[in-house]
Each structure stands twice: as structure tokens, then as C-alpha cells.
Amino acid sequence: MAKNKFLFLKVVLSFLLLSMILRFVVYALEVKSEFKVPDCESNRILQLKDPLMTGYDVIELEERMIELGVYSGPAFGVYDYRLAQAVTAFQGSKELEPNGIVGPETWNALAGEDSEDRPTNAKPRPKGKITLTIHVNSRTLTVYSDGEVYKRYPIGVGKASTPTPIGEWKIVHKSTGWGGGFGTRWLGLNIPWGIYGIHGTNKPWSIGRAESHGCIRMHNKDVEELFSWITVGTEVDIIGDISHIQVKDNLSPGRTGKDIVKFQMILREAGFNPGRADGRYGQQTIDAIKSLQRYYSLPVTGIAGPDEFILLKLK
């Protein structure tokens, strides 16, 4: 009998230990997934390789060198021999090692007169509740304190081909450790279809332009100030044009995407509150659809189909 109790206890303890290990593994995977390095910027060292290096970061290098008049282009996004020669000549003119390898020193030299050495007009932390509004068209980030404008910063936003996501987001991650193309600070957003954030940059000339891969770029000194004020959970509204986004029929719970953001905004305009336009067809959006269905005597399903689209003037 005692032997059976011992075996039973051993099995229970083994099960508990296994359960703890599994929980730890799941947690570790979730953290790794949530905080993985985003693809909106690149920390690559650019140089001649076989095969040739290609990508968005090469295009940015070419565009900046064309702008400075040290490369004749065009910008193909391929780090070939001709581009390497131009980089080498540029490095020599800036008293850098003329090796054709583009790392932090070369990016800093490319900044030229657009360097970080500029007044920041530093201010103390706002005393009220902080919210942020980003206007894509005017390339500005505005800090609000209890609903009142507190400070405004210039920013860089996404190109037309890689736009900054419009919607109503929250800060879900803060980091000081990525450096390189991400500058000195990172503020991650809860955008469900990709990894986007507000961050510094080693390309300060891009501030005020539509140059990024979708993220919001700031001067490093500006993002350092903002970083010190912001907490996880801070609301960030990104405002811009969504007229080109198409909303498809039969939206159902669990869906995410840009079309859900637009659909949530249209629901709100119609008087049915889906909560924040965060691109997630969650419970608040379900409740808003059900309210619409009850109001118009439709079957209360929480699913947006053809009838709901007609009522919302989406068809």
C-alpha cells in the first residue's frame, strides 16, 4: 500500500514538473515571438558579396548618395561593383577607411548636415495622461497631455509601397537594445499583421519624408525624450488616408487586417461602437455588429455579411 502511494506521488510530482516546463517553454516562445526584431529597418553591413546583396536598405543607400551628388544612380537596390566604387570614393572624401563596406560610420557620414547635432527644446514629462497622434500626411507626431497638445515632433513615415499602418494602436513594447537602423530607442505597436514601431534612426535625413518600410522614424534625441515619458499601454492613433482599402464581404470574428480597421471606423461613424480601430474583429466589434443587426431587425449573428454591407454603404 505504501509502495502504491509512493508511486502515485512520484507520478503527480513528475506531471507537475512537466507542466511547469511546458509553461516555461510556451512563455519563452511567446516572448520571442512578441519581441523579435522587426523587418521595417535593417542592421546589415552592406558590401560586395557573391551573390550581390539586394534590398530596401541598398535602395536607401543609393537614394542618399544620389541626393548628395556622389552617385549617379539609378537606384536598383543592388549592391554592385559600381555602387561599391562610389561608396569607396565617398569614404575617402570623409577620411574614413575606403573599403566599400557600409557600416555605422559610413551611415553617419552620409547624414552630413542632417546629423543629430541640433537643439531638442527638451521639456519635462507631461503631468497628465499621455496619448500620441501621428499624422502621416504632415509627418508629425503630437504628444497630448490630458487631451491638450504638449509637444510636436517631425517624423519619417512609410513609402507609398510600404505605408505606415493607419489605425488606433497601443505601445506594447519598449527597448533600448536594437541600435543600427533603429537608432537608440524602440516603441513597439500592437499592429496584428506585422511588426511596426516608433524608433530612432541612423538616417536622420529621412525625417520629414515618406522613406521608411512602414515604421515611424524620429531623430534619436527626440525618441529618447519620448521614450522616457511613454509607458506600455499608451494609446497611439495613426491618421491618414484609408480610402484605397477595400472591405470584403462576410467579415467574421477572429479576422485581422487593414480592412478590419476601415470597417471598424465605418461602424463607428454609423453610430455602432466597435471600440478602438485596432484591426481585430474581437468582442467589441462583434457587439457593435449585433447592435446594428438588432437595430435593423436582422438575424443577430455578429457576422458582417451582404445585408450589413449595404446598410453601411460598403456596397
pLDDT digits (tens, 9 = 90+) for 172-219: 999 987 666 778 899 999 999 999 999 999 889 999 999 898 999 999
What's 168's DSSP letter? E
- For residue 111, being part of any structural domain is answered with no
Higher pLDDT, 116 or 290: 290
User: Which pLDDT tens digit goes with each residue over 228-238?
Assistant: 999 999 999 99
Question: Looking at residue 114, what is its pLDDT?
Answer: 56
Q: How far apart are CA 97 and CA 92, in angstroms?
A: 7
Burial profile 168-205: b = 16 or more Cβ within 10 angstroms, e = fewer: bbebbeebeebebbbbbbbbbbbbbeebbbbbbbbbbb
Cα 195 to the center of its chain, rounded Å: 5
- For residue 118, being part of any structural domain is answered with no
Question: What does DSSP say about strands 197-199 and 210-212: parallel, antiparallel, or unpaired?
Answer: unpaired
**HEC string for 204-267:** HHHCCCEEECCCEECCHHHHHHHHHHCCCCCEEEEECCCCCCCCCCCECCCCECHHHHHHHHHH
Q: What is the mean pLDDT of the chain?
A: 86
Q: How far apart are CA 54 and CA 70, in angstroms?
A: 20
Q: Which residues pair with 53 in a beta bridge?
A: 79
Question: Looking at residue 28, what is its pLDDT?
Answer: 34
Query: Are 187 and 91 found together in one domain?
Result: no
Q: How far apart are CA 292 and CA 299, in angstroms?
A: 10
Query: Are 84 and 137 found together in one domain?
Result: no
Query: Are 231 and 277 found together in one domain?
Result: no
Active site residues: 199, 215
The CB-side HSE value for 23 (13 A sphere, CA atoms) comes to: 6
Question: Looking at residue 23, what is its pLDDT?
Answer: 36
Query: Are 98 and 196 found together in one domain?
Result: no
Domain that holds residue 60: 53-102
Query: Are 191 and 278 found together in one domain?
Result: no
- For residue 24, being part of any structural domain is answered with no
Question: Looking at residue 39, what is its pLDDT?
Answer: 57
Query: Are 226 and 285 found together in one domain?
Result: no
Nearest to 301 by CA among 256, 268, 260, 252: 252
Question: Looking at residue 113, what is its pLDDT?
Answer: 63
- For residue 59, being part of any structural domain is answered with yes
User: Which pLDDT tens digit goes with each residue over 222-279?
Assistant: 999 999 999 999 999 999 999 999 998 789 999 999 999 999 999 999 999 999 999 9
Query: Are 219 and 151 found together in one domain?
Result: yes
Query: Are 90 and 161 found together in one domain?
Result: no
Q: Which residues pair with 131 in a beta bridge?
A: 144
Question: Looking at residue 234, what is its pLDDT?
Answer: 98
Query: Are 191 and 268 found together in one domain?
Result: no
- For residue 84, being part of any structural domain is answered with yes
Question: Looking at residue 5, what is its pLDDT?
Answer: 52
Question: What type of residue sits at position 307?
Answer: D
pTM (predicted TM-score): 0.80
User: Which pLDDT tens digit goes with each residue over 11-32?
Assistant: 444 544 444 433 333 333 333 3
Query: Are 94 and 189 found together in one domain?
Result: no
User: Is residue 93 scored above 70 in pLDDT?
Assistant: yes
pLDDT category of residue 122 using cuts at 50, 70 and 90? confident
- For residue 285, being part of any structural domain is answered with yes
Question: Looking at residue 22, what is its pLDDT?
Answer: 39
Contacts of 297 (CB under 8 A, 6+ apart): none
- For residue 109, being part of any structural domain is answered with no
Higher pLDDT, 159 or 35: 159
User: Which pLDDT tens digit goes with each residue over 62-92?
Assistant: 999 999 999 998 888 999 999 999 999 999 9
Cell of 128: 497628465
Please count the structural domains in the chain.
Answer: 3
Query: Are 223 and 263 found together in one domain?
Result: no
- For residue 31, being part of any structural domain is answered with no
Query: Are 231 and 270 found together in one domain?
Result: no
CATH label of the domain that carries residue 155: 2.40.440.10
- Rounded to an integer, the average pLDDT of 148-173 is 96
